[in-house]
Amino acid sequence: QQQVKQSPQSLIVQKGGISIINCAYENTAFDYFPWYQQFPGKGPALLIAIRPDVSEKKEGRFTISFNKSAKQFSLHIMDSQPGDSATYFCAAKGKSGNTGKLIFGQGTTLQVKP
Amino acid sequence: DTEVTQTPKHLVMGMTNKKSLKCEQHMGHRAMYWYKQKAKKPPELMFVYSYEKLSINESVPSRFSPECPNSSLLNLHLHALQPEDSALYLCASSQVWGFEVYEQYFGPGTRLTVT
């Protein structure tokens, strides 16, 4: 119930291509879905986030698509660049009072080839 | 500015040492977090402080002792650690909106090696 399943585990994309990472959840009480980007040896950086009352959110080359009925959400990276090579984590948060506990997916390692 | 700072960047300690990790934020966030991250794994929540009070302890061994001296600072005191405690320790913070929090911002982490 508390899990977030992320796929694929790793992804190789050519420069200029579209990278797609998927996440699925079971708990319908989740109300916030962020994506984090992490480079080796650095902390995760908040990339983009969505709430379940919206089906899509776009920020620059990054788009979250959200399917509430299927309990799935995905990150699309358009025009992927070598600098996008990193590990991406999806996450979900339930109504948690004032603690904000996140449930993370297992991560996807993205490599963008020049 | 969404900056969370952590010191030190790297720490090597023996199993009998006592050391502390420090985290600081000046965004006015009232929720602060400690996470542990092993290589190629997601961050694993350890502790949550909300309004300077410990609100979540994820069954962390007592050799890790958190402290929140004020709303901007978070410490993690380490004592008698084991080699398997070697990891990247991450601090994060969030603004609290009423009874909810959303955006959580991470610091760069402290790379801890226990010898």
Closest CA to B78 of B113, B106, B42: B113
Q: Which two tokens stand for residue B72?
A: 């901007």
What CA–CA distance (Å, rounded) separates B88 from B73? 19
What residues of chain A lie within 8 A of the CB of B100, using their CB? Answer: 95-98, 100
pLDDT band at B2 (very low <50, low <70, confident <90, very high): low
Q: Which two tokens stand for residue B47?
A: 């502790």
Q: Is the dihedral of CA A36, A75, A59, A102 positive or negative?
A: negative
Report the alpha-carbon angle A108-A94-B76, nearest 5: 75
Q: Which two tokens stand for residue A41?
A: 């040896």
Residue B103 touches partner A, C-beta closer than 8 Å:
yes
Residues B74 and B27 sit within 8 Å (Cβ to Cβ): no
Q: Do A99 and B101 touch (CB under 8 A)?
A: yes
Q: Quick one: pLDDT at residue A100?
A: 77
Share above pLDDT 90 across residues of chain B, in percent, rounded to a whole number? 85
Residues B76 and B57 sit within 8 Å (Cβ to Cβ): no
Once rounded to an integer, what is the mean pLDDT over residues A85-106?
87
Mean pLDDT of chain A: 94
Instruction: Reply yes or no on whether the pLDDT at A101 is more than 90.
Output: no
pLDDT band at A22 (very low <50, low <70, confident <90, very high): very high
Closest CA to A10 of B71, B40, B38: B40
Once rounded to an integer, what is the mean pLDDT over residues A42-65?
95
Phi first, then psi, for residue B74 (nearest 5°) are: -140, 130
pLDDT digits (tens, 9 = 90+) for A24-43: 999 888 889 999 999 999 99
pLDDT digits (tens, 9 = 90+) for B16-49: 899 999 999 999 999 999 999 999 999 999 999 9
Alpha-carbon dihedral of residues A31, B102, B92, A91, nearest 10 degrees? 30
pLDDT digits (tens, 9 = 90+) for A7-17: 999 999 999 99
Instruction: Reply yes or no on whether the pLDDT at B100 is more than 90.
Output: no
Rg (CA), chain B: 14
What residues of chain B lie within 8 A of the CB of A95, using their CB? Answer: 100
Q: DSSP 3-state assignment of A93? A: strand
What residues of chain B lie within 8 A of the CB of A41, using their CB? Answer: 88, 109, 111
Instruction: Reply yes or no on whether the pLDDT at A1 is more than 70.
Output: no
Instruction: Reply yes or no on whether the pLDDT at B99 is more than 70.
Output: no
What stretches of A1-114 adopt beta strand conformation (E)? 4-7, 10-14, 19-25, 30-38, 45-50, 56-59, 62-67, 72-77, 86-94, 102-104, 108-113
Distance from CA of A103 to the nearest CA of B (A): 9
Instruction: Reply yes or no on whether the pLDDT at B109 is more than 90.
Output: yes
Neighbour-count burial of B33, counting CB atoms closer than 10 A to its CB (0-12 exposed, 13-18 middle, 19+ buried): buried
Q: Which two tokens stand for residue B48?
A: 């949550």
Instruction: Reply yes or no on whether the pLDDT at A94 is more than 90.
Output: no
Least confident of A10-19, A32-41, A58-67, A95-104: A95-104
Q: Do B43 and A104 touch (CB under 8 A)?
A: yes
